[in-house]
Amino acid sequence: MRKIREILRLKYHLEQKHRQIGKSLSISASSVSRIVNDAKAKGLTWPLPEGLSDAELEVLVYGEKSPNAAKPIILPDWDKLSKELQKKGVTKSLLWEEYNQQSPDNAYSYSQFCHHFRTWCKKKDVPMRQLHRAGEKLFVDYAGQTMPITDSTTGTIKEAQIFIAVLGASNYIYAEASYTQSLPDWIMAHVRAFEYIGGVPEIVVPDNLKSAVSKPCRYDPDLNPTYQQLAVHFDCTVIPARSYKPKDKAKVEVGVQIVERQILARLRNQTFHSLGELNKTIKELLLQLNEKPFQKLPGTRRGRFVELDKPALRPLPKQPYRYTSVIIGRVRNDYHVDFDGHYYSVPHALIRKKVTLHNCGNIIEIYYDNKRVATHVKQTEQGYHTTLPEHMPEAHRNHLQCTPTVLNQRAQKVGLTTVKIIQGILNERHHLQKSIRMCLGILNLSNKYGNERLESACQRAWMIGSPRRSSIESILMKGLDHVELIQDSETPPIEHENVRGRHYYQ
């Protein structure tokens, strides 16, 4: 009752007015007047009697409180309310309404209810810095400690990595060993964790290791494409913890300590010769760990999992997951994209575009804008190409179809002399590709001059002994194919002063 004491001091000792006293103590002038009048009626002035406590001063001014004035408050079961609050859709406002309906005359007001609940949370030994709703989050990470696996033949030792997953609401733990923290081991560990808990959480919270995050960012990290594809298959969201913020995944940090102390420490003197042998032992100890009672909470991890997380988890997909390696590539100018050193074709319209390649076992699937544009059988030869004709431009397809048989068929549509010239070129000792190009040069003249004129030009070129494209094209350009060619074996020799004759060289 410090304000009563201060009001009397300011009133009688400093002789201030009631309005000044009210401004000084942040109360109304009428309240000052009421307290001064009540104290005056009790014969209280300043200075107050020595040794008078604040509680005694309150009794002197206001009198004794009635024993029925304060009704006993029925305290809620805070631990039960904490569990209920973790369920989806449950709020503190709803819990207070249910609590208030049970005994409205002996219940806390909503503000007092929230205040005492926060106080209870702070006094608990188990930290509650984050509110984890049932089925919402699965925290995943690798333990810092490894387990040695000894090869029974060579005696060499290989360190196995320990993957750990912890559900947020129930603290239910899953653990397994793998040889590496590489992408395939990381992805398949998630798959087995989902199968172990029998469902899929809404959110998976990993660390920023390379298998999970391609480019860390506090606000919008880039997930590894294969990891993102896993999230799409299981219909969940991946939200990595912030870099250098271990409290973002405090659940799994504690889970790592528990696994190291209660599982790995017990196996320190055992020798394992295979990964399967180690995982079998971990699974047995993991069952004991989840059935072990909490030290500072009622129940067990298994019990809280069945009560909280299990009913809220999403069902596993009907289609089983197949590991799919996903990479981002850019289409080259030759409409091929590289995957492990082999080049696979895509529609030529996608040149210079970014595409996503999915390696599903022996199949390579290529996607653009979330639409599959190509499918190939996986090849192991590096430096080679796999090309589908439908991906090629029309000109490339036509060139690919240019075989000696096709060229002869085209020549037959022109005429017999054209067939002779084409066969003669193909029979010459040129490289096949060069011969094909020479034949195409002749046959393509029909596109401009037509088959009939081309056949006439070929006849003239054959008769003059020059069955080459340059001669045939010259004949067509000058219109000589329309002029009849007369052959006379008795044509007299040309006599001219510039013609030397054979005698000149004798």
pLDDT in tens, 225-267: 888 888 989 999 988 888 777 777 788 888 899 999 999 999 9
pLDDT band for 502, please (50, 70, 90 cuts).
low
Q: Mean pLDDT highest for which of 57-61, 387-391, 432-436?
A: 387-391
Whether residue 281 contacts residue 287, with contact meaning beta carbons closer than 8 Å, is answered with: no
What is the overall mean pLDDT for the chain? 84
Instruction: Select the more confidently predicted residue: 220 or 244.
Output: 244
Q: Classify domain 137-312 at the CATH class level.
A: alpha beta
- Distances 377 to 25, 179, 238, 321, 328 between C-alpha atoms, Å: 85, 29, 31, 20, 18
H/E segment holding residue 29:
helix 29-41
Which region among 21-25, 190-194, 498-502 has the lowest average model confidence (pLDDT)? 498-502
DSSP strands (E only) in 20-156: 137-142, 147-150
pLDDT band for 70, please (50, 70, 90 cuts).
low
User: How confident is the model at residue 383, as a pLDDT?
Assistant: 86
Give the percent of the chain with pLDDT over 70.
Answer: 90
User: How confident is the model at residue 495, as a pLDDT?
Assistant: 65
Residue found under tokens 């959110």:
203
- Distances 221 to 205, 225, 237, 242 between C-alpha atoms, Å: 12, 12, 13, 9
Between CA 483 and CA 487 the distance in angstroms is 13
User: How confident is the model at residue 128, as a pLDDT?
Assistant: 45
- Distances 412 to 33, 161, 405 between C-alpha atoms, Å: 124, 71, 11
What number of H helices and E strands is found in the chain? 20, 15
User: How confident is the model at residue 346, as a pLDDT?
Assistant: 92
Give the percent of the chain with pLDDT over 90.
Answer: 30
User: How confident is the model at residue 397, as a pLDDT?
Assistant: 73
User: How confident is the model at residue 288, as a pLDDT?
Assistant: 92
Instruction: Select the more confidently predicted residue: 83 or 429.
Output: 83
pLDDT band for 127, please (50, 70, 90 cuts).
very low
Whether residue 208 contacts residue 215, with contact meaning beta carbons closer than 8 Å, is answered with: no
| pLDDT, tens digit, 9 for 90 and up, residues 163-219 | 999 998 899 999 999 999 999 999 999 999 999 999 999 999 998 888 888 776 666
Burial of 134 (0-12, 13-18, 19+ CB in 10 A): buried
Assigned token pair, 377: 């059988």
- Does the pLDDT at position 433 exceed 80? no
